[in-house]
A and B are shown apart, each in its own frame.
Chain A
Amino acid sequence: MVETILNLLVQGVLIGGLYALFALGLSLSLGVMRFVNIAHGDMIVLFSFVILSLTGVLGWSPFLVALILLPVAFLAGYVLQRFLLQRTVGKGILPILLVTFGLSIIIQNGLLQAYGPNTRKLAGGAVELAAFNVGPIAIGLYPLLVFLLAVGLIAGLDAFLYRTATGARIRAVSDDPSAADLIGLTSARIYPIAMGVVGVTMLAAACCMSVWTNFDPAIGPSRLLAAFEAVVLGGLGSLWGTLVGGVIIGIAQNFGSQIDASWQILAQHLVFLVALVLRPQGLFAKG
C-alpha cells in the first residue's frame, strides 16, 4: 500500500514536470504580460508537428531538431507579438481573447488539413525506455530528465527576469505599461522579447510532449486547460509556483486514475476547484 502511494507520488511529480513545461509560457504571458493566450496549447502542438516533419526529413533525433529550432521558436514568438498580439495591448481583455481564439482555430484546422486527424508520436530512442530503481520505486530516465529540464528552465527564466536588465524592463512594463510609456519604455519593444522567450518554452514543451505521449491536431485546448490550471494553482507571476501547480496536477491525475481511469482528468479538475476555493490567489502569488 505504502509502496503504491509512494510510486503514485513519484510518478505524479515527474509528470508534473511535463505539465510545468506546458504551463511555463502561459505563466509568463499571464503573469508578466497580463494576457491569456488561448492558442497556447495549439502553438505547442504546432511545434510538435514541425519537429515531426523535420525529424522525418532530416532523420535526426527530435531533441537535436528542437535544439536547432530554438532561435526559430524565439523569432516566432517575437514576430507574433510584435505584429499581431501587440495590436491588442491596452485594449482590454476581449480583443486578445478573440485574436488568440482565432489563432487557435487556424492552427488546429491548418494542422488537420496538413497532417490529418491521426495521432502521432515521436521516437526518443534509448532514453525513452531507460529506467532505474530507487528502492521499490521504478523511475523512468526520460520523465526524470523532463522534470529536470522544467526545473532548469524555470531557474533560467527566474534568473533572466530577476537578474538581468532586460528582465527588469519586462517586469517594469508589466507593473505599469502607461508609466513605462511616459518615460520611453514602450511595451511594443519589450513584450515581443518576452513572447520570444515564451516561444522557446513552447518548443521545449512540444519536444518533451511529442516523445512522452501521443499528440494530434485537436489536443491543444486540453493542453491549455492543464497549463492554465497549473499557473492558477501556483499563483500568477510565480514561475516556481507553476512547477508546484504542475506537480499537483500530475499527482492528482495519478491518484484519480487509481480509482478509475475516467477519474484521471476529473481528479485534476476537482483539486483545481478545491484549491481555487481555498486559495484563489494561488499558492505562491506575487503581488
Chain B
Amino acid sequence: MTAAPLLSVEKLSVFYDAFQPVHDVDLTVAEGQIVSIIGANGAGKSSFLKALVRQAGRVTGSARFGGEDLSAFATRAIVAKGIALVPEGRKLFPSLTVFENLRIGWELGRKGEIRYDQVYEWFPVLEERRDQRARELSGGQQQMVALGRALLANPRLLLCDEISLGLAPRIVNEIYEIIPQVRERGVSVIVVEQDINRSLSVSDHFYCFLEGEVSLSGRPADANRETIMQHYFGA
C-alpha cells in the first residue's frame, strides 16, 4: 500500500470567460518529490499553478492537498496550510525592504524550521542587503527574495513559476542549487520552466504541457530528448 500523495489533481480545468488555458489535467506530487512542469509559452503552466492557490479564473475538477479539497479555501488559508508560490516575474513589493518582503512570507505561512537564518545561509546577499528596498536589487537578488519569501512560509509544497526567467546562467545555477536542499527538509516542489534541461535535471518526475493538456509525463531518466521535444512543441 502506497502513501496518499501530498497533492492530487484530477481533471483540473481553468477558464477565463471563454478562454480555457488548462484542460482536464491530472497530476500528483508525493511527499518530498520534485516535479517539473515543462511546456512552451502559453501552454497553461502558470495558470495551473495559480489555480492551485485559487488565483486563476474559474476552476473545475479537483485539487486535493494533504487530503483536503483546495477549492474550499481562500489563498491565505492555502498558504497557511502549506502551499507557497514563487510567482512568475517575482512580484516583490518594490518599496519594501528585503527584510520586510521576507517577513510577509513568514507572517502569512506556517511557522516551521525554515527561519531567517536559514534563508540568509542559502542566500547570504539577502542578509547583506536586508535594509535595502527590493526595487534597488538586481534581477537575481530579487528572485532570491521571492524564493526566500516563499520558503519562510515553511511550505509543504513549493510552487516555482519560471524562476530562471531573465536571469544570468550563474545566478540560475545558484538558485537551482537550493532546490534539492529544500527537498531535504521534506518540502515537495513543483518547478515550472520553459528551460527543459534545467528543470529535468533537478526533478524526480515531469509533466509536459501542450496547449493546456498533459502531452507527456514520466521520469526524466526514462524519456529521451526527441520524444520530449515532440510533446513540447506538438510537432
Contact = CB atoms under 8 A, between A and B. Distances in A.
Real binding pair: yes
A175 B96 contact: yes
Interface size class of B (residues with CB under 8 A): 20 to 34
A183 B95 contact: no
The A interface, classified by DSSP as helix, strand, loop or mixed, is helix
Given A165-B103, A182-B50, A185-B108, A171 B96 contact: yes
B212 interface: no
A160 to B, nearest CB: 14
A195 to B, nearest CB: 19
Given A168-B103, A179-B87, A287 B75 contact: no
A186 interface: yes
A255 B91 CA distance: 48
Interface in A176-192: 176, 178-186, 189
Interface string B69-113: 000001111111000110100011111100011011101100000
Contacts of B93: 171-172, 175-176, 179-180
Interface string B50-79: 100101000000000000000000111111
Contacts of A279: none
Contact of A176 (B77, B79, B80, B91): B91
Contacts of B104: 168-169, 172, 183, 185
Contact of B108 (A168, A175, A184): A184
Interface residues of A, number: 20
A193 to B, nearest CB: 14
B78 A184 contact: yes
Interface string A63-102: 0000000000000000000000000000000000000000
A245 B105 CA distance: 36
B115 to A, nearest CB: 16
A182 B101 CA distance: 14
**Does more than half of chain B's interface fall in helix, strand or loop, or is it mixed?**
helix
A80 to B, nearest CB: 22
A165 B107 contact: yes
A184 B103 contact: no
A172 B96 contact: yes
B169 to A, nearest CB: 26
Contacts of A171: 93, 95-96, 100
B205 interface: no
B53 A182 contact: yes
Nearest to B55: A182
Given A171-B95, A172-B93, A183 B103 contact: no
A184 B105 CA distance: 9
Nearest to B87: A182
Contacts of A186: 74-76
Contacts of A189: 76
B79 A179 contact: no
- Among A165, A175, A179, A182, the one with the most B-chain Cβ atoms within 10 Å of its Cβ is A182
Given A172-B100, A179-B92, 20 more contacts: A165-B107, A168-B100, A168-B103, A169-B107, A171-B96, A171-B100, A175-B94, A175-B95, A175-B96, A176-B93, A178-B91, A182-B50, A183-B79, A183-B84, A183-B108, A183-B150, A183-B153, A184-B80, A185-B76, A185-B104
7 contacts: A165-B107, A176-B93, A179-B87, A179-B93, A182-B87, A183-B85, A184-B78
Instruction: Give me the 5 closest cross-chain CB pairs, A-B, nearest first.
Output: A179-B91, A184-B79, A184-B76, A172-B93, A175-B93
